[in-house]
Amino acid sequence: MTAKDTETRADTAVAVQVRAEGDVDEQALAYLRTKIDAVLGRPGIPAARGEVRITKATARHTEQPWSAGAELVLGDARVVVHAREATAHELADRLQDLLRSQMTRVLHRREEARRSATPPPWRGGPAGDRRG
């Protein structure tokens, strides 16, 4: 790992807050932070800011007591993800997968919109059906 990678991850960790509610241990939070840093530290990802909340339900009869919600802003795009799982590790893995797919979709959509925009005729675009 290079110093540049370390700086990028430190910047994203500061901009994205991780909050816990309920009986969430430090090990689960550390694993979740690792997964979030892996998603946000990928090349080509703009600076992100926002919040990730992880909650463990107190009711013992719940099949999926762990839930998480992430609301991130990437440049001018907003990414919102929600997940529920039976364990903290499964939740972190699911959250990582959902964040990665949503971020890829948002970034791809932005890139396609930029590339597919045809300039108008007065800016050198196609002249249409002009005959001269």
CATH of the domain at 72: 3.30.160.100
CB 84 within 8 A of CB 54: no
> Is residue 24 a contact partner of residue 88, using CB atoms and an 8 Å limit?
yes
In a domain, 37, yes or no: yes
**Mean pLDDT across 28-37:** 93
The verdict on residue 132 lying in a domain is no
Question: Domain for residue 121, yes or no?
Answer: no
64 touches 55 (CB < 8 A) = no
Do the Cβ atoms of 68 and 80 come closer than 8 Å?
no
State the chain's mean pLDDT as an integer: 80
pTM above 0.85, yes or no: no
Residue 125 within a domain: no
What would the two tokens of residue 10 be? 């430190």
**pLDDT confidence band for 113 (50 / 70 / 90):** low
β-bridge partners, 3: none
Q: What is the pLDDT of residue 79?
A: 92
Domain count, the chain: 1
Domain that holds residue 41: 3-115
H helices of 1-132, in order, are: 3-15, 26-40, 88-116
Among 40, 45, 42, 51, smallest CA distance to 12 is for: 40
More confident residue, 53 or 114: 53
Asked whether the beta carbons of 71 and 49 are under 8 A apart, the reply is no
